[in-house]
């Protein structure tokens, strides 16, 4: 078996991506950048909020107000506080997956604690919840930083780590760290072609529901055999 199972958070454990996409699509539409929420989730999947803003500012050929991100965050939190849910089947899946596990996310640690607690998942991972911008060299995915920190913390060879990711940038980061990746396409933001995008980024396979994840992990561990 793998010595460490690593989960991304947004879109894998909690259904936050479409909440963010709806808020961001509406906010950027007011600034003159129009894109439907699902298209927004697809186009900017795995990017940090500041990276998204920089990309849209380049498209708009102007800078947005200095407090744009603050207002965006307030709008997201207001909606998330009433609409955040765990991805279906995640509790049962965690009951089935054996061995050490952790979370590696681009999201800030206070956000992770807040919403993982709200859906009852925080204690299932704490204290091993790593925020890319707060550990190592502070680089976010697609930099492998956060995955490298997790492996070092658990004193595990990256080759013995299995990562569950829902974005191309997350998959690329885990692959760059030398880890095996399963692409997850069971979140509420999944779009046609999502699985293919993750496979092209380096995922070994994909699953579209948590009910299949434990069995897939066992199958990959047996298949990779001596490499672990």
pLDDT (0 to 100) of residue 109: 96
Average the pLDDT over 66-84 and give the result: 94
pLDDT (0 to 100) of residue 221: 79
- Determine the CATH number of domain 4-15+85-227: 3.40.50.1000
pLDDT (0 to 100) of residue 46: 74
How many whole angstroms separate alpha carbon 18 and alpha carbon 97? Answer: 27
CA distances from residue 134 to 55, 106, 118, 155, 218 in whole angstroms, order as listed: 23, 9, 22, 19, 32
Average of per-residue pLDDT values in the chain: 93
**103 beta partners:** 7, 129
Q: 4-15+85-227 and 17-83: same fold?
A: no
| Reported confidence tier of residue 47, pLDDT bands at 50, 70, 90 | confident
Superfamily in which the 17-83 domain is placed by CATH: Putative phosphatase; domain 2 (1.10.150.240)
Residue 8 Cα to chain centre, angstroms? 4
pLDDT (0 to 100) of residue 58: 95
Domain ranges across the chain: 4-15+85-227, 17-83
Give, in degrees to the nearest 5, the angle at Cα 171 between 138 and 145.
20
Average the pLDDT over 19-44 and give the result: 92
Is-contact 145 137, C-beta < 8 A? Answer: yes
Residues 6+ apart with CB under 8 A from 164: 5, 6, 7, 8, 12, 181, 182, 184, 213
Is-contact 170 151, C-beta < 8 A? Answer: no
With helix as H, strand as E and coil as C, how does the chain read?
CCCEEEECCECCCECCHHHHHHHHHHHHHHCCCCCCHHHHHHHCCCCCHHHHHHHHHHHHCCCCCCCHHHHHHHHHHHHHHHHCCECCCHHHHHHHCCCCEEEEECCCHHHHHHHHHHCCCHHHCCCCEEEHHHCCCCCCCCCCHHHHHHHHHHCCCHHHEEEEECCHHHHHHHHHCCCEEEEECCCCCCCCCHHHHHHHHCCCEEECCHHHHHHHHHHHHHHHHHHC
* 171 has a pLDDT exceeding 80: yes
Q: Which two tokens mark 33?
A: 């950048």
pTM of the model: 0.90
* 148 has a pLDDT exceeding 90: yes
My answer on whether omega of the bond before 37 falls inside 30° of 0, hence cis, is: no
Comparing 38-42, 60-64, 169-173, the range with the smallest average pLDDT is: 38-42
* 16 has a pLDDT exceeding 80: yes
| Reported confidence tier of residue 225, pLDDT bands at 50, 70, 90 | low
My answer on whether omega of the bond before 127 falls inside 30° of 0, hence cis, is: yes
pLDDT (0 to 100) of residue 228: 41
Average the pLDDT over 86-93 and give the result: 96
Average the pLDDT over 78-97 and give the result: 95
């Amino acid at each position: 078996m793998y010595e460490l199972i690593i989960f991304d958070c947004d879109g894998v454990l909690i259904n936050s991506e479409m909440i963010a996409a709806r808020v961001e699509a509406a906010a950027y539409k007011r600034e003159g950048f129009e894109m439907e929420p699902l298209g927004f989730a697809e186009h900017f999947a795995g990017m940090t909020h500041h990276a998204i803003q920089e990309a849209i500012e380049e498209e708009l050929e102007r800078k947005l107000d200095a407090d744009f991100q603050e207002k965006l965050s307030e709008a997201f939190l207001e909606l998330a506080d009433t609409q955040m849910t765990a991805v279906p089947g995640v509790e049962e899946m965690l009951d089935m997956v054996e061995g050490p596990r952790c979370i590696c996310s681009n999201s800030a640690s206070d956000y992770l604690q807040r919403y993982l607690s709200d859906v009852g998942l925080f204690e299932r991972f704490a204290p091993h919840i790593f925020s890319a911008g707060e550990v190592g060299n502070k680089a976010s995915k697609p930099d492998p930083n956060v995955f490298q920190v997790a492996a070092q913390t658990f004193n595990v060879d990256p080759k013995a780590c299995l990562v569950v990711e829902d974005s191309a940038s997350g998959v690329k980061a885990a692959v760059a760290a030398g880890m095996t990746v399963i692409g997850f396409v069971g979140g509420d933001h999944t779009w046609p072609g999502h699985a293919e995008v993750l496979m092209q980024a380096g995922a070994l396979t994909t699953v579209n529901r948590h009910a299949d994840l434990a069995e897939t992990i066992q199958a990959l561990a047996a298949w990779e055999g001596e490499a672990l």
